Chains A and B, each alone.
Chain A
Amino acid sequence: MVIIASADGGVEIEETAKTHPDRIIKFYMQGAKTLDEARWAPVAAQLFSDTRLQKSCTSILQKLLKLFFEKDCSLAEINPFVINGEGNLIAADAKVIFDDNGLDRHPELVALRDMKYEDADELEAKEKGLSFVKLEGNVGCIVNGAGLAMGTMDAVNLLGGRPANFLDVGGSSNPEKVLNALKIILRNKDIKVILINIFGGITRCDDIANGILTALKQINIPVPLVIRLTGTNEKEAKALLTQAGMTTFTSMRQAVTEAVKVTK
């Protein structure tokens, strides 16, 4: 945990880090949750020559730290600190990033979400246990596992296509998730094909297959599905899908190549 401070306020600190790294002070908390004022004092003196402002800065910082720890923040930033007309130090603007993993214990923060700034599809996906990020492309992707989902997007791009989204259906085999994933992805009218890439470890391939078949009965899927299923219960999965007249791939490269081909 570190406090990063600079007397060059009002500018992007990442810029200052590149152009004037010596103007940035890093103060490591060393496991403490409150400011060790004796250790901090020389830093305050570097930032403000006026002792009254040093005291003020220290006091505000203690409060910022309290916010940080109480609300499970990943970042709490005051930029800029401004000396107003009366000569007092105030926070003129701030930025706070909350740890997504901490939100379960902060319903009061969740209630503050401003839907104007959120993507409704991405939030809905999250509520349904999916991880979803919209991109600009026409190959819809449904994958199990974040790393594999990223790898799949990359593969689509590498093989000449444009991924439309990142989507991780997660670890469980729940067929509902496949249905929800398809519904959300299909809202994007640019989609020309949906690539389903599943490596079943804990996720059972036949559960995914059943999810796909159920979805086909329940909703209209106007684009081709390119399906790759490997791992646990892949034989059962392939049998189910073959019976329904669908083909499946075992190789990720082949599945991605096919999906991209469909879009051309």
Chain B
Amino acid sequence: MSILIDQNTKVIVQGITGRDGSFHAKQMLEYGTKVVGGVTPGKGGQEVNGIPVFNSVKEAKDKTGCNAAVIYVPAKFAKDAMLEDIANGIPLIICITEGVPVLDMVEVKKALSNTQIRLIGPNCPGLISPGKSKIGIMPGHIHKAGDIGVVSRSGTLTYEVVFNLTANGMGQSSCVGLGGDPIIGTRFVDVLKMFQEDPDTKAIVMVGEIGGGDEQLAAEYIKNHVTKPVVSFIAGRTAPTGKRMGHAGAIISSGDSTAEAKMQMLRDAGVTVIDFPDEIPQALTASLK
């Protein structure tokens, strides 16, 4: 079945006339995603790869009936792009942009509260339901439709994991990139719940990293609510304390945000935690027996 997006999802691309927006809009379209419009204020009326451009999210929504938006605008405009989506009731927002200030995200989270709107990201590769829809920058060709749900804070590390799954004949139901920032719209527990409730997802792969408390919360959730097998890889075992490792959220600031601490908590919750991404397929096979 897949979660969040499928062949019927209609997405608009904010920042479609920019270099990244136009490139990825074309890639998404080629994958088969229903890209129904783009938004760049001032460029309404233009077309990018046959996709109509509108001046505002309101206009785009009115004209296309879109139910998702993906954001490729620069960091300093990302907050406004998200707020515009929220104001127009776009139910699913995916923010690819890296570099969004934390206090901007605090404002966005506040605007999201008391709504049913789901934000994924920022600083994320997006999400894909293989064979149905791709909203983001991941390479579609390494994915394969199947019944393994993948949720991750990373981009290329996720591709590494997916590559290994596909090579072993294990297709994916949906792959969700949560993003590398400290404040994100959707967290591990949110996606774990969706995968647990998705009849077509048989097992879950969770890719975490140092920093923050999301994996710890996930461990607690898994212990109490997840019956499907979960296999996890946590990156950053060799990361030094106090240093930001690329991702804004990947910084060890306390004892329990180290990779080892997270791995232990997950193991205590019944998760199979492996040491190397290529060990995931074998671990899944063992846990699905």
- State in angstroms the CA–CA spacing of A59 and B260 once bound together: 42
- State in angstroms the CA–CA spacing of A185 and B125 once bound together: 27
Contact A202 B137 (CB under 8 A): yes
Interface of B is mostly: loop
Chain B nearest Cβ from A137, distance in angstroms = 9
Taking A147-B180, A148-B160 as contacts, is the C-beta distance between A154 and B236 under 8 angstroms?
A: yes
In the complex, which of the residues A14, A144, A153, A157 has the most CB atoms of chain B within 10 Å of its own CB atom?
A: A153
Interface assignment of B144: CB less than 8 Å from any CB of chain A: no
Residues of B within 8 A of A163 (CB): 238
Contact B159 A231 (CB under 8 A): yes
Residues of B within 8 A of A74 (CB): 102
Contact A101 B180 (CB under 8 A): no
User: Which residues of chain B (200-253) have a CB below 8 Å from chain A?
Assistant: 207, 209-210, 233, 235-240, 243-248, 250
Contact of A199 among B159, B238, B240 (CB under 8 A): B159
- State in angstroms the CA–CA spacing of A147 and B207 once bound together: 9
Interface assignment of B139: CB less than 8 Å from any CB of chain A: yes
Number of chain A residues close to chain B: CB under 8 A: 45
Binds A, one of B50-58, B60-68, B81-89, B149-157: B149-157
Interface assignment of B21: CB less than 8 Å from any CB of chain A: no
- State in angstroms the CA–CA spacing of A252 and B233 once bound together: 15
Residues of A within 8 A of B157 (CB): 145, 147-148, 150-151
Taking A150-B246, A150-B250, A155-B276 as contacts, is the C-beta distance between A99 and B101 under 8 angstroms?
A: yes
- State in angstroms the CA–CA spacing of A151 and B247 once bound together: 13
Residues of B within 8 A of A99 (CB): 101-103
Interface assignment of A200: CB less than 8 Å from any CB of chain B: yes
Chain A nearest Cβ from B110, distance in angstroms = 5
Contact A157 B238 (CB under 8 A): yes
Interface assignment of A135: CB less than 8 Å from any CB of chain B: yes
Chain A nearest Cβ from B262, distance in angstroms = 13
Contact B163 A147 (CB under 8 A): no
Instruction: Name 6 extra pairs, CB < 8 A, besides A201-B137, A201-B159.
Output: A72-B101, A143-B156, A148-B157, A151-B233, A158-B237, A253-B278
